[in-house]
Structure 1
């Protein structure tokens, strides 16, 4: 089995406590780490883009519940905060592809330790798997997953925090970031074969096709880059195994210092199962290498249940697809593994007090 297909995480419930700012790595105290954080680099990019557009960012940051001095006082912000800020910035700038612009600012250097680990990985596949495995160092509100099916590789990005603001913008930002880092490893002329984005078809898709230099499919259930699996076997020029080993050791020490959070881990795994159209408690417990009853006890101790997490995740995805795509109720019910659209409608009404169609109509009227 290729090394990029094996996990490099020793303890499933370890959590990182470093985050990145302008390419450097700074340690957080364990107690200050939020469970849905994102590193501040993207927030800085939002501010820079607004300034370049001639827009004063102060009022936008204030509406989002923060301030432009946050770069001097904080190392992380909440995942929801980044989505809310990006959405407000996009509205103020009149720029439907604002998330794409933010993602275009990302580089291997902006990924800090993970970027260094990727740069010195043996193969492109090892680098992508390193990003997927240690993505929590950058973002604890979404997951990256590498799936190989025959000759096709798919790198997906899927938020797992329920009802996150600005999900479509989060997703296009991530797709642009993934494209940039792969071009850093494979050469500036590299392009994916296809790009999937969970957002409404924009009035002008040119910014997307121009940047990705590939067909872009909107109205999808998650964000992803699709490319030939043979790319994963490509060696990375100039990779230094000594630097790789040193950096990976530092990352593991960061991860080992953080207390476990079973609820957060189960959210991630449930989202992963939904991406692959499989969600069962026994499967998630098996992936986490614990018994179902043990998983149930641990979740109860954290004040939740597997069913509650699964339902929250399904509801969050349902709201995202209803708001950000034109997917039919039948398509959404299939994505969420309901037996039929009527079952999805019944569950959605139970969760929210209204029907999916009425909720979508209300969102579009805002």
Structure 2
């Protein structure tokens, strides 16, 4: 159920409206109608520090859907008007990165600054890097479209790579809103619908691809700007994100990072590390448990390994400790969680194969 009170407390960059402006302008629509529909009163041009709330973004997305002409999927047309620089310093941080891996890590670290509606995390499995996107708030009728934009937005970095990526794919938990071939033609990679997770998947070797606009000085400047924004925003946890990344990487490599090795990797003392992550509202044991559960979720979804083996791979002392931590986080035991996800996937596939009655029609109320 959509909570307007919750949505009105979420904050998004005003630059997101520029995408709608471009789309509306191309279709010959009145830009002021967009602002009136969303209840937005902003000066022209926008100032970079201005924001819109979640309810206004929800209305804007609904407006965009209504003005998209029939034919290609709305996402395809929407993303044609979505420059990577829409995300401000985060986009510039990505463009000036040395490699795709560095750009991805920057996006994961600072995404909460511009996209509080979704969580993003990385999982490495079998020579692939899975960037999982999890919805945190209900945006009602625009949920699927909003999810598509968030999952595919990082792919806008592709033109800045020195070589093409082979073997990348996008996975979405909902069905397509048009011909799947149109999605794949527009983005140049495979789309999987009715999937188990919302995510984009890259071959691990692609992370070493250099960027054509890499600049160490500019990259460090953008990083310093984003660190200042994190301090001003409160609640963002850049060190926690980095510790989580290191812990996850160690699990993938079947290694264990103790506090001393973690602190050494982060160029600080173990005492400073403990104090700083405590200041961000967590502890190292808590982070180990959370990262272990997240990694176990991937193994439960993607493999048929027994629970005891997954517990070991996820860094838990034994299956009992793993089950307790997993149930504390998800509300289910690992076995039940795996069964429920597979049952959901079977139901989605069955629904996709069910013929739609000829009398069924779709309607979309035009925005005022």
Report the TM-score range of the alignment, normalised by the length of the smaller protein. 0.5 to 0.7
Question: How far apart are 1:131 and its partner, in Å?
Answer: 0.4
Taking a change above 3 Å as real, the CA distance of residues 215 and 291 of structure 1, as seen in their structure-2 partners, is closer
After TM superposition, the score normalised by the length of structure 1 is: 0.58
Alignment gaps of 5+ in structure 2: 1-7, 245-277, 287-326, 348-361
Is the aligned partner of 1:212 residue 2:187?
Answer: yes
Check if 1:288 corresponds to 2:262.
Answer: no
Match of 2:300 in 1: none
Structure 1 residue 132 and structure 2 residue 126: aligned? no
Runs of 4+ in 1 over 6 A off after TM superposition: 330-333
Tell me how far apart the structure 2 counterparts of residues 261 and 249 of structure 1 sit (CA, whole Å).
15
1:118 is aligned to 2:118: no
Aligned to 1:241: 216
TM-aligned CA deviation for residue 289 of structure 1: 1.8
Match of 2:123 among 142, 147, 156: 147
Deviation at 1:70, TM superposition (A): 7.2
Deviation (angstroms), 1:86: 1.6
- Which of 144, 153, 166 in structure 2 is aligned with 1:168? 144
Distance 1:261 1:125 in 2: 21
Q: Please name the residue that 2:24 is paired with.
A: 50
Instruction: Quickly say closer, same or farther: Cα 1:119–1:88, change in 2 above 3 A.
Output: closer
Verify the 8 A CA contact 1:125 1:232 in the aligned structure 2: yes
2:170 counterpart of 1:195:
yes
How has the CA–CA distance of structure 1 residues 75 and 164 changed in structure 2, closer, same or farther, with 3 Å as cutoff?
A: farther
CA distance in 1, matches of 2:234, 2:128: 37
For residues 33 and 338 of structure 2, the distance between their equivalents in structure 1, rounded to whole angstroms, comes to 37
Query: What is the Cα deviation at residue 258 of structure 1?
Result: 2.8
TM-superposed CA distance for 1:254, in Å, is: 1.9
2:206 maps to 231
- Give me the whole-angstrom Cα distance separating, in 1, the residues matched to 2:172 and 2:128: 18
Unaligned runs of 5+ in 1: 1-33, 270-284, 293-306, 312-329, 342-363
Distance in 2 separating the partners of 1:239 and 1:93: 35
Quote the offset at 1:125 in angstroms: 0.9
Measured in 2, the distance between the counterparts of 1:310 and 1:162 equals 19
User: Contact 1:194/1:225 (CA < 8 Å) preserved in 2?
Assistant: yes
Calculate the TM-score normalised by the size of structure 2. 0.57
Q: Which residue of 2 aligns with 1:87?
A: 62
1:41 aligned onto 2:15: yes
Aligned with 1:66: secondary structure? coil
The 3-state SS of whatever aligns with 1:334 is helix
Which residue does 1:282 correspond to in 2?
Answer: none
Count of residue correspondences: 259
